[in-house]
Amino acid sequence: MSPFTEPDFTRLRDALGPLRDRERLAERLLEASRKHSYDPDTELDWDAPFEPGKWYWPPELVSLYGTPLWSRMSEEQRIDLSRHEAASLASLGVWFEVILMQLLVRHVYDKPLTSHHVGYALTEIADECRHSMMFARLIRKSGTGEYPVPRVYHNLARVLKTVSTTPGSFAATLLGEEILDWMQRLTFPDERIQPLVRGVTRIHVVEEARHVRYAREELRRQMVTAPRWEREFTRLS
Ligand SMILES: [Fe+2]
Ligand SMILES: [Fe+2]
């Protein structure tokens, strides 16, 4: 006679189902990463000078667009503002990605190292590493200097990335990545924009789509099993 009861099997099936889903998704994402990943250093022409008269960010997304001040600015001043705002967003991107890399490292620390789930997390860390170097190189080339976040946010994030619970981390990832992603999807196809900025945003959009998928599915799985306090806390954050 089997030492297991029917409820034992049900519990086992319920526990293994999400794990199988998780592995299947990670395997597909790994396969896509092998086919469509980019090395920005060789993929983009970093030596080409910026083209005069081209924008660094779509004007409609620049903070002053449509204001009375905007209407008094010359075209050159507007483009210059777009250059600074692109550098500011790229700085935000590096800050955000450095936080994310640490969250991902913490996420995999206790997980089976040969699983596809861990393999994809390591792939994503490698992607973010290249992205951050790419953003920094773009900022250096645009000559604006960097735009760090205010000190208080910088320090708040230091605490968050150290103590944040896992569903909270994935919720924050989605929030950050989806907002930036929306702007970049408007930027890379736009012919008014500097080719280098278009190239940077194109690479980022392609690789981020996988990150968003990974985070969304993981958040969904974790919310199902998270204790009530954690679900409430994640909603709040
Ligand atoms: Fe990224
Ligand atoms: Fe990402």
Of all ligands present, the nearest one to the C-alpha of 104 is 2
Position 198 confidence tier, pLDDT thresholds 50, 70, 90 = very high
> Would 6 be classed as within a structural domain?
no
- Confirm if 132 and 94 have CB atoms less than 8 A apart: yes
In this predicted structure, which of 60-74, 129-143, 144-158, 162-176 has the lowest mean pLDDT? 162-176
Distance 215 CA to ligand 2 centre (A): 9
Whether 184 is covered by a domain: the verdict is: yes
* pLDDT confidence of residue 12: 64
Quick check: is 51 in a domain? no
CATH at 82: 1.10.620.20
What distance in angstroms lies between residue 205's CA and the mean position of ligand 2's atoms?
9
| Amino acid 224: pLDDT | 86
Confidence of residue 20 (pLDDT cuts 50, 70, 90): confident
Residue pair 108/122 in contact by the 8 Å Cβ criterion: yes
Average pLDDT over residues 28-52: 97
Residue 165 lies in a domain: yes
Tell me what pLDDT residue 4 has.
Answer: 67
Q: What is the mean pLDDT of the chain?
A: 91
Instruction: Taking residues 62-89, report their average pLDDT.
Output: 98
Residue 25 vs residues 29, 56, 116, 228: alpha-carbon distances, Å? 6, 36, 9, 26
Q: How many angstroms does the Cα of residue 62 sit away from the middle of ligand 1?
A: 21
- Residues 167-195, mean pLDDT to the nearest whole number: 89
Q: Is residue 175 part of a domain?
A: yes
Question: What pLDDT score was predicted for residue 21?
Answer: 87
Q: Do the domain assignments include residue 31?
A: no
Centre of ligand 1 to C-alpha 234, Å, is 22
CA–centroid distance, residue 203 to ligand 1 (Å): 9
Residue 96 lies in a domain: yes
Say yes or no to pLDDT of 132 above 70: yes
Number of domain units in the chain: 1
pLDDT at position 232 is: 85
- Residue 210 falls inside a structural domain: yes
Domain span including residue 164: 59-236
Alpha-carbon gap, residue 15 to 31, rounded angstroms: 25
Question: Ligand 1: distance of its center to the CA of 52 in Å?
Answer: 28
CA of 209 to the centre of ligand 1 (A): 10
Could you give the 3-state DSSP secondary structure of residue 7?
helix
> Collapsing DSSP states into helix, strand and coil, what is residue 58?
coil
Give the ligand with the smallest distance to the CA of 130: 1
**Per-residue confidence at 94, pLDDT binned at 50, 70, 90?**
very high
Angle at 184 between CA 180 and CA 188, to 5 degrees: 170
Residue 6 has pLDDT above 80, yes or no: no
